[in-house]
Amino acid sequence: MRRAIFLFLAMMCSGVALGQTPPNWLQSDERERNYPSAAFLTGFTPGNVRAGETKADAAVRLRKDAQAELTEKIRVQVSSEKQKRDTRTKTQATGKEESEQIQSVFESSVTTSASLELTGVKTDSYVDDSKELIYGFAYVNRYELTGYYNASLTMTMQQLESVLNTAKQLETNGEKPKARKQYEEAVQLLVKAEQAQDVLIALDRNANAASLQRDKTGVWRNDIIQALARLSQGVYIYVESSEKLHGQKVNIVTNKLKAELAKSGCSFTENAEKADFRLKIDVTTRETDTIEGIFFSFADAQVELYDVRKQKVVYSDEIAQKGGGVSQDKAGRKAMDDVVPKIFGKLKSWTGN
């Protein structure tokens, strides 16, 4: 009986809540003994209950803070590795133009260090009522984390190789828009692969560069940069057009259509031999009716798209669009304006993104 009373008083004096045993990570020496840094990454955050916050809410917050502290430890090392890699890549660039190309391509992708989310992290918390403190703790096994990122790297490299092979084949076939999409997808996969490499190096400074396939990702990064530079101008189109607005020669449809195609990455050439596609446009307007002072006209467009590499017409159609206005001229112009989105909608699958 006396022993039970003694234990009760000892627990009360130590600040331990009845029925709650202090965890084996509460003290720094216990953490190192039970979660040695050679085998674990850890995060530890003490804190108080904030105004308007319950103990349960505070415990959740501090667990998240502990996880953030753990992630930050490795994020700093990953960020350092990323900066070293980017510096090496820029140093290897042959000139200012290529260096700027590297920047534009990869800065638009997800930043590796900022997007780091470690998997397999476990969290815990402890409430010390006597001190009115709550402790958050997070830990992850280095070996488990290494295994996860090794598997992730292997899978991502396989996906990346497949996407690059597809992109190269599409480019060889002259399908530039589709090839560009594949290379842009490859950028995201490369970022993911390099993140896995950086995490693995952060976990083990002696990691074998060959096993991490760093030479391969370096080659692929260069391949992607050069390919996107080649494809940056999109497809080249040679345009032949004839437009008549109630008999008057105009370029309403052609100019607006060129502007829309340019937004999709297309460029235009005056040399038919250098074009990827030859586009023929023939547009005429015709008067229809007049209703309560409003004139109406149709724009009749004949469109033909010829693939130079395939040496065949890949799209041909006749499109009519009605327009209204306070005069026949305005009605015809309105019809011409409104037929452009219809034509562009048909062409973009062949020439644009």
Q: What is the CATH number of domain 2-95+105-141?
A: 3.10.129
Of 299, 348, 289, whose CA–CA distance to 323 is shortest? 299
- 144-231 under CATH 1.10.260, yes or no: no
- Rounded Cα distance between 345 and 352, Å, is 10
Architecture of the domain made up of 236-351: 2-Layer Sandwich (3.30)
- Rounded Cα distance between 74 and 202, Å, is 6
pTM summary value: 0.58
Q: For the chain, what are the domain ranges? A: 2-95+105-141, 144-231, 236-351
The runs of H, that is alpha helices, within the chain are 2-14, 28-34, 55-92, 96-106, 142-172, 176-203, 214-231, 252-263, 328-351
CA of 92: how far to CAs of 21, 101, 280, in Å? 58, 13, 45
The region, left, alpha or beta by phi > 0 then psi within -120 to 50, assigned to residue 292 is left
- Fold equal for 144-231 and 236-351: no
* CA 324 to chain centroid: 44
| pLDDT tens for each residue of the chain, 353 residues long | 555 444 444 444 433 444 468 899 999 999 999 999 989 999 999 999 999 999 999 999 999 999 999 988 888 777 766 666 666 555 454 444 444 554 555 555 544 444 567 788 999 999 998 878 999 999 999 999 999 999 999 999 999 999 999 999 988 877 777 888 899 899 989 988 988 888 888 888 777 766 788 889 989 988 998 888 777 666 889 999 999 999 999 999 999 999 998 888 788 888 888 788 999 999 999 999 898 889 999 999 999 999 887 889 999 999 999 999 999 999 999 999 999 999 999 888 777 55
- Rounded Cα distance between 247 and 257, Å, is 21
